[in-house]
């Protein structure tokens, strides 16, 4: 913060350099407004995704699946982490330069705290800067939650997802507490690198929100890769024992143990708001710390907006991006966009192969009393999808829930190669009311994964 005055003002102040904040900052500067963005860490320019989230983890997915058996596991892993560091450093620098290089934008590094509803301070003592603005955007993201398990917090083998994307030491035994998206992604990544991996999930099965057949197929793929998946497991204690931790858990009324050289809690994330002093700004938060917002992402102070994970919504980069669109529509648009406009938002679990979902599950559709048809095929049985064979990945399934009365897709679960791409086409079809008949009769490139739609819907629909 050298060479900066002790008091600054801007048209818009953005607190946090995440996807939503930086997208809004760029658009607002392009619209002629003076923007100041405050980020507490120089290691987080650009937000979670390019630094410790999407980019490094998906890069590790690529490296892990590209490893050959002849490769030394430790050397290959260290080389992979170096590759991740190189890319994330380039992204971080690019994000900073792209915004700070604009004439009407300034990036300040330091921890922000509110003085009142229009003012924050950054830094301490002689380095303290006061910043005021009529409009403020909060985009401080989320952080991992460490569950209250005796011995866990003090364990020398406790790691978080950020540390796992940065350390060059491949753990021999990784125990993951929690079988959600983050936990399963890291379990899959590290197993492919050669680590012995155990997943402890409290629910009786993985992915309880998905249909039983989909969750079972995921479980079979993970266990087939050598991951020890233990469901119905309640972790009761962690005890350090030199080079390992002993994780004690209960299952079916009995006590069991598993050793870990690295222990990853993957039981959720919480909004980063504790040190912002939001009370000084009159901004209310929910009991879990997330900022309360309306459908236009306005807080209890109408000139203060909350974008991304910090507002308690779905914790995905593309949701933060859409948050920016909504806020920009309020600030420099016609003010019509709201969170209620979101339809058929897709999700992807980046195991190998990935699981991508959108819309209703079969269980949800039947519980709602809808008249449905189900189109389901194992990837290995889809003749018109040779791409799966060309890349030697024929595991998984494709499942579609269809409204029997309208021929429209209500939901889908794709566990297959390229699922993260195909789900976007399916989501677009749902939003624009494209029938399965039209999807069946559409021309797709060959060989591609999308052409599986030709066959899946052909088997279900009359010619």
Domains in the chain, ordered, with CATH? 7-143+270-341 (3.50.50.60), 161-267 (3.50.50.60), 347-460 (3.30.390.30)
Structure tokens at 154: 């003090």
Q: Tell me if residue 446 is catalytic.
A: yes
- What pLDDT was estimated at residue 93? 82
* Strands of the sheet with 129-132, listed across from one edge: 7-9, 129-132, 119-122, 112-116
Q: Kindly tell me if the per-residue pLDDT of 44 is higher than 90.
A: no
The predicted-structure confidence for 245-298, as pLDDT tens digits, reads as follows 999 999 999 999 999 999 999 998 999 999 999 999 999 999 999 999 999 999
Residue 123's pLDDT is 86
Please report the pLDDT score of residue 461 as a whole number: 58
Say whether pLDDT at 135 is over 70: yes
Q: What is the CB neighbour count within 10 angstroms for residue 257?
A: 10
Q: Which pLDDT value is given to residue 354?
A: 97
CA distances from 11 to 15, 115, 197, 298, 307 (A): 13, 17, 50, 17, 18
Three-state secondary structure call for residue 441: helix
What is the DSSP annotation of 219-239? HHHHHHTT-EEEES-EEEEEE
pLDDT at 5: 74
Work out the average pLDDT over 436-453: 95
pLDDT at 52: 60
- What does the pLDDT read at residue 186? 94
Supply the pLDDT for residue 192.
93
Q: What does the block give as tokens for 294?
A: 């309306």
Mean pLDDT, residues 80-98 taken together? 85
pTM equals 0.91
| Mean pLDDT confidence for 443-454 | 95
Q: Examine the pLDDT at 463 and tell me if it is beyond 60.
A: no
pLDDT value at residue 362: 98
In the predicted model, is pLDDT for residue 457 greater than 60?
Answer: yes
Q: How many CB atoms are located within 10 Å of the residue 340 CB?
A: 8
Residue 214: exposure state from Cβ atoms within 10 A (0-12, 13-18, ≥19): buried
Query: Which residue among the candidates 62, 256, 433, 446 is catalytic per the annotation?
Result: 446
* Average confidence score pLDDT of the chain: 93
pLDDT digits (tens, 9 = 90+) for 219-251: 999 999 999 999 999 999 999 988 999 999 999
State how far the Cα of 272 lies from the Cα of 111, in Å rounded to an integer: 12
């Amino acid at each position: 913060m050298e060479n900066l005055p002790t008091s600054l003002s801007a048209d818009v102040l953005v607190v946090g350099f995440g996807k939503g904040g930086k997208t809004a900052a760029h658009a607002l500067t392009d619209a002629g407004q003076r923007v100041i963005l405050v980020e507490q860490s120089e290691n987080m320019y650009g937000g979670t995704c390019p630094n410790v989230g999407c980019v490094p983890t998906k890069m590790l997915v690529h490296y892990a699946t590209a490893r050959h058996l002849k490769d030394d596991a430790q050397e290959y892993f260290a080389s992979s982490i170096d590759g991740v560091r190189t890319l994330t450093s380039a992204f971080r620098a690019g994000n900073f330069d792209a915004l700070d290089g604009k004439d009407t934008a300034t990036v300040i590094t330091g921890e922000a705290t509110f003085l009142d509803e229009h003012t924050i301070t950054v830094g301490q003592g002689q380095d303290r800067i006061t910043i005021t603005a009529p409009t403020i955007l909060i985009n401080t993201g989320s952080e991992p939650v460490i569950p209250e398990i005796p011995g866990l917090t003090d364990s020398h083998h406790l790691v978080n997802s950020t540390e796992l994307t940065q350390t060059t030491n491949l753990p021999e035994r990784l125990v993951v507490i929690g079988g959600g998206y983050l936990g399963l992604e890291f379990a899959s990544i590290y197993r492919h690198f050669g680590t012995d991996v155990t997943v402890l999930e409290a629910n009786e099965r993985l992915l309880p929100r998905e249909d039983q057949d989909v969750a079972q197929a995921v479980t079979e793929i993970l266990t087939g890769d050598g991951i020890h998946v233990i469901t119905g497991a309640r972790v009761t204690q962690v005890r350090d024992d030199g080079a390992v931790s002993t994780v004690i858990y209960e299952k079916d009324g009995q006590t069991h143990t598993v050793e870990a050289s690295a222990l990853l809690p993957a039981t959720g994330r919480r909004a980063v708001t504790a040190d912002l002093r939001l009370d000084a700004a009159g901004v209310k938060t929910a009991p879990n710390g997330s900022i309360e917002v309306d459908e236009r992402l306005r807080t209890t102070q109408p000139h203060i907006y909350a974008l991304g994970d910090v507002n308690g919504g779905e914790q995905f980069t593309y949701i933060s991006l859409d948050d920016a669109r909504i806020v920009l529509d309020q600030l420099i648009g016609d003010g019509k966009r709201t969170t209620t406009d979101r339809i058929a938002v897709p999700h992807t679990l980046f195991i190998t192969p990935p699981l991508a979902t959108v819309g209703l599950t079969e269980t949800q559709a039947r519980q709602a009393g809808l008249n449905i048809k189900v189109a389901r095929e194992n990837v290995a049985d889809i003749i018109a999808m040779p791409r799966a064979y060309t890349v030697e990945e024929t595991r998984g399934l494709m499942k579609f829930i269809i409204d029997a009365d309208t021929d429209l897709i209500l939901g889908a679960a794709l566990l297959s190669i390229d699922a993260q791409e195909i789900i976007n086409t399916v989501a677009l079809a749902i939003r624009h009311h494209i029938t399965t008949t039209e999807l069946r009769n559409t021309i797709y490139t060959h060989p591609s994964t999308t052409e599986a739609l030709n066959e899946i819907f052909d088997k279900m629909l009359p010619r």
